[in-house]
Amino acid sequence: MCEKRGRRGHVRLAALCLIPVLCMASTAVSQGIARAEEQSIQLSKPQTDRNPFLQLLMKRESSRAFSSAPLPNAVLSNLLWAAAGISRPESGKRTAPTANNRQEIDVFAATAKGLYLYDAKANTLKPMLARDIREITGKQAFVKEAAVNLIYVADLAKSSAASEGDKTLYAAAATGFISQNVYLYCASEGLATVVRASIDRPALAEIMKLKPTQKIILAQSVGYPKK
């Protein structure tokens, strides 16, 4: 038992008194770690041989070698619907989520025929430019070969209630969901695709005649694999 001796006390004696306490704390921590390890759960092997969706995830990959062959209308339609089409007509909600359903991401498609804006409600591609700007949608050489380059543009005005940092965060997250939808559709159809961040954004924004509130987030090349 430790006694208090004098007003100042004995520092050495106090230190000796702490040793059992520290030992007990160290033992408790060690026991806690051991219990946590004992509670680990070994998961079963993923059923990639039986689950079609898991098989699709196994096929998902990035490719940078494209054929210049155009995509048929049906394939292009399916691709854009997978990206950001309306999956619930009664509410207008899309195949990819956005914060508070703001739907601030516009999907543009640059093809050999020109630049188009995807209108999910009308299921149409609205012409924006009657020229081939595929080469300008990225800094890599392969972008001009891909049948279509999708450009994901966030209209930050639709997130006016959020802070500037949150606007960028929400737009980046939404674009990630959309691009992954495209990846999975391409995996299902045997198409090549790669999402890209290497873009001359000011130059592309000027050519696309974007508003000050519109910000290019990413682009994604899609096409048939190069043989």
Amino acid letter, 22: L
Number of domains in the chain: 2
Same domain, yes or no, for 75 and 26?
Answer: no
- Please report which helix (H) or strand (E) contains residue 153, including its range: strand 148-155
Q: How far is CA 140 from the centre of its chain?
A: 20
Beta pairing, strands 192-196 & 93-94 = unpaired
Domain annotation covers residue 47: no
Same domain, yes or no, for 168 and 73?
Answer: yes
Domain hosting residue 12, numbered range: 1-42
Per residue in 126-170, pLDDT (tens digit) is 999 999 999 999 999 999 999 999 999 999 998 878 888 999 999
Mean per-residue pLDDT, 194-205: 98
Domain annotation covers residue 97: yes
> Which tokens go with 221?
């090349």
Same domain, yes or no, for 126 and 215?
Answer: yes
Question: What are the beta bridge partners of residue 225?
Answer: 66
pTM of the model: 0.82
Angle separating helix axes 73-84 and 164-189, nearest 10 degrees: 140
Give the model's confidence band at 24: pLDDT under 50 very low, under 70 low, under 90 confident, else very high. low
What share of the chain in percent tops pLDDT 70?
84
